Structure 1
Amino acid sequence: MNTGEGVFECGDVALQRGGTLRAARIVYKTFGTLSAKRDNVIVYPTSYSAHHTDIEWLVRPEHALDPGRYFIVIPDMFTNGLSSSPSNTPGSPGDFPEVTTCDNVMQQRRLLNELFGVERVKLVYGWSMGAQQAYHWAALFGEAVERIVVNCGSARTAPHNFVFLEGIRTTLQAAASPEQGLRAMGRIYAGWALSQTFYRRELWRGLGFKDLEDFLVRSWEAGFLRRNMHDLLAQLWTWQHSDISANDLFRGDLAMALASIKARVLLMPSATDLYFQTDDNRAELPHLKNATLVEIPSIWGHRAGNPRDNPEDAAFIDRQVAALLEA
């Protein structure tokens, strides 16, 4: 597989909410070959706490994001620990500025244009916070975006989603140590990211865990212990305040922002997602000019949208994305 990795130096970035991200950097990875016409580009943004290495499993010839056909770019979000983040920026972590989803995608578009000469993208595919970025690409860049996949995401973070994240934030801030906070975060997250039915049927057994405690420790605690607490808090703020209408173009009018989208949109929520709910997408659908809503019929909750260990949901997503790309 033809791949490449690099760093895009953004310079000093004036941020949407005020302040400046000094010497901002985006780490990225590419897969496949850019066509002569530069018309085969897929942007695949990262999700909460993820590095590109965590989501690149989907970029395979057997999946819809086929590097044999498309030039796929994974830009790491600001605050994810690779791109500019509290953990890798000089100064106190508490002084790191507030970065919005809009700030992220504005610099991602610069990356594509300045490094690769790309003006128009075939698809922006995103899961969770990646889906929020896909929505922003479509709302902010008009005809430069042909298609988006909003996989377990929404145009604006819903109030209940915000409250879920408040529980995570206060847990991290109240902990006696970062390690204690990250372990507690993992246990809270485990109850939200997967459905009640997942646990009732003990599907964690099929993932190689001997009992529920083993699953919580080796999957969820270990997953967050890989990350820096200050990075997670900064990225959580970005998630809580994600809103495609919160900018000078739309001035908080979500219906106007949705109606402005020219891209073909695939809304693909999970039937059992506990915080990015299908009802959020159902409310968005009437305002979109060219959109389809297809629910993933899964008991894997939010994780249905990132089914690395779940071939049935992966096959469902591949079919839907392939159809969108051929449309």
Structure 2
Amino acid sequence: MGYEVMELGDVELQSGAILPGTFLAYKTYGTLRADKSNAILYPTAFGDTHVQNEWLLGEGKALDPQHYFIIVPNLLGNGLSSSPSNTPAPWDRGNFPQVTIMDNVRLQHRLVTQRFGISKLALVTGWSFGAMQTFQWAASYPDMVERIAPFAGTAKTWPHTFVFFEGVKAPLEADAGWRSGHDRQTVEKALRAVGRVYAGWGFSQAFYREEGYQQLGYDSLDAFLSGFWDRNFAGSDPYNLLSMLWTGQHADISANPTYKGDFEQALRSIKARTVVMPATTDLYFTPEDSAYETLRMRNAALRPIRSIWGHFAGRGLNPDDSRFIDDELKRLLASSV
């Protein structure tokens, strides 16, 4: 899991709180051209690290390191970048300050401009929380981003999505026994409960009805629940999860001094050539929400991922969905700006 770290010092967050000794973990793939014209940014999703993004990279793919310089910054709170689990006291664990999507993007901007001297990004793309960061990049730095391709994610957290995140948080908040940090069994019990809550949301009703989990090597529903979902958050730090969930719940590209809560103005401000890829059976980043947003962007096309794999159509698990995303990225990168 080799990666690099950029030390950012004491950072004032959007809330006004100071996050001391902030650092951003990232990994790069490929070589930056002398004219720096081949840079792509590919942020991570909730609970993921750069490793989980690698399914979309490779020879012959749209994100081919032989042609592009791909930067994958890790989300604050994911355990590699500054997080409740790796920040010294007294700012660790439950005292870790609240971090927004915009905070993440501002720090990524420092990484891109200060460490690499990049002034234009050929593409920003990402899944889920990575899609939210993608939208924020295009709204916050409209003259810097040439193309964006958010998939299975929206420009803000709509009310029903907020409620979904509340359900994921609930097992951790209902039984605070894990907060002592001394009993790993209690922690793992809470994390299994998080996985079981998520199980009903990550994939669609049709996926379960058609036993799509067999494509992942599970011969029964029970085996899938215990083998995939019970292990999905195993080893995670609950404080990290709660921090990232707060970040996701409060995502909104207009919640900043530039747009002052005017969401539609923020959408109109995006200049990048855009392809929005919602999954047609996503239960919480819904295609209806994506359609609403796309209609209010001036240079955007809606390209739904027609799949029964729900939100996880964007996770690189189903070859047909992965091929669709890759093909759309190839077309977008080949287009003029």
* TM bracket (short chain): over 0.9
2:266 to 235, 244, 257: 257
In the alignment, is residue 129 of structure 1 matched against residue 138 of structure 2? no
Question: How big is the shift at 1:8?
Answer: 0.6
1:230 maps onto 2:239 in alignment: yes
Note closer, same or farther for the CA distance 1:159–1:24 as it changes in structure 2 (3 Å cut).
same
Name the CA distance, whole Å, in 1 between partners of 2:268 and 2:246: 26
Letter in structure 1 aligned against 2:49: H
Q: Partner amino acid for 1:25?
A: F
Does residue 110 of structure 2 align to residue 76 of structure 1? no
Are the counterparts in 2 of residues 7 and 25 from structure 1 also a CA contact under 8 Å? Answer: yes
Contact conserved, 2:77 with 2:240, CA < 8 A, in 1?
A: yes
Equivalences for residues 306-317 of structure 1 within 5 A: 306-307=315-316, 309-317=317-325
SS in 2 for 1:172: helix
Aligned to 1:8: 6
CA distance in 1, matches of 2:228, 2:8: 35
Preserved CA contact (<8 Å) 2:188 2:235: no
2:54 pairs with one of 44, 56, 59: 56
- Whether 2:111 is the aligned partner of 1:111: answer yes
> Partners in 1 of 2:294 and 2:28 — Cα distance?
32
Unaligned runs of 5+ in 2: 178-185
Which stretch shifts more, 57-66 or 27-36? 57-66
Q: CA deviation at 1:300?
A: 0.2
Distance in 2 (CA, whole Å) between partners of 1:220 and 1:108 is 31
- Matched residue SS, 1:26: strand
Tell me the amino acid that sits aligned with residue 204 of structure 1. Answer: Y
CA contact (8 A) 1:123 1:147 kept: yes
Q: Does 1:321 align with 2:329?
A: yes
CA distance, structure 2, for counterparts of residue 294 and residue 226 of structure 1: 36
- Aligned-pair identity in percent equals 48
- Residue 301 of structure 1 corresponds to which residue in structure 2? 310
> TM-score, normalised to structure 2's length?
0.94
Q: Match of 2:252?
A: 243
In 2, distance between residues paired with 1:46 and 1:221?
22
* Equivalence for 1:214: 223
State the one-letter code of the partner of 1:234: S
| 8 Å CA contact 2:48, 2:78 repeated in 1 | yes
C-alpha distance in structure 2 between counterparts of 1:120 and 1:262, whole Å: 13
Q: CA deviation at 1:206?
A: 2.0
Deviation larger for 269-278 or 51-60: 51-60
**Normalization by structure 1: what TM-score?**
0.97
Provide the residue aligned with 1:35 in structure 2: 33
Q: Report if the CA contact (8 A) 1:46-1:74 is conserved.
A: yes
- CA offsets per residue over residues 101-151 of structure 1, 9 Å max, x none? 000000001001111111110000110000000000000001100011110
2:139–2:266: 8 Å Cα contact kept in structure 1? yes
Q: Quick check: 1:86–1:230 contact (8 Å CA) kept in 2?
A: yes
2:187 is matched with 178
> Does structure 1 conserve the Cα–Cα contact (< 8 Å) formed by 2:27 and 2:72?
yes
Please state whether the residue corresponding to 2:124 is helix, strand or coil. strand
Q: Which residue in 2 is equivalent to 1:145?
A: 145
Structure-2 change in CA distance of 1:81 and 1:248 (3 Å): same
Q: Distance in 1 between matches of 2:216 and 2:94?
A: 38
Instruction: Trace 1:150-165 onto structure 2 (pairs within 5 A).
Output: 150-165=150-165
Give 3-state SS (helix, strand or coil) of 2:10's partner.
Answer: strand
Moved more, 228-237 or 199-208: 199-208
In the alignment, structure 1 segments of 5+ residues that lack a partner are none
Does the alignment pair 1:272 with 2:270?
no
Partner of 1:168: 168
Look up the SS of the partner of 1:85 in the other structure. Answer: coil
- Structure 2 distance, partners of 1:4, 1:196, is 38
Alpha-carbon distance in 2 for matches of 1:214, 1:9: 43
Partner SS, residue 144 of structure 1: coil
Decide whether the 8 Å contact of 1:174 with 1:181 is kept in 2: no
Q: CA deviation at 1:86?
A: 0.2
CA drift at 1:4: 7.3
Q: Aligned residue pairs: how many? A: 324
Residue 14 of structure 1, CA deviation: 0.1
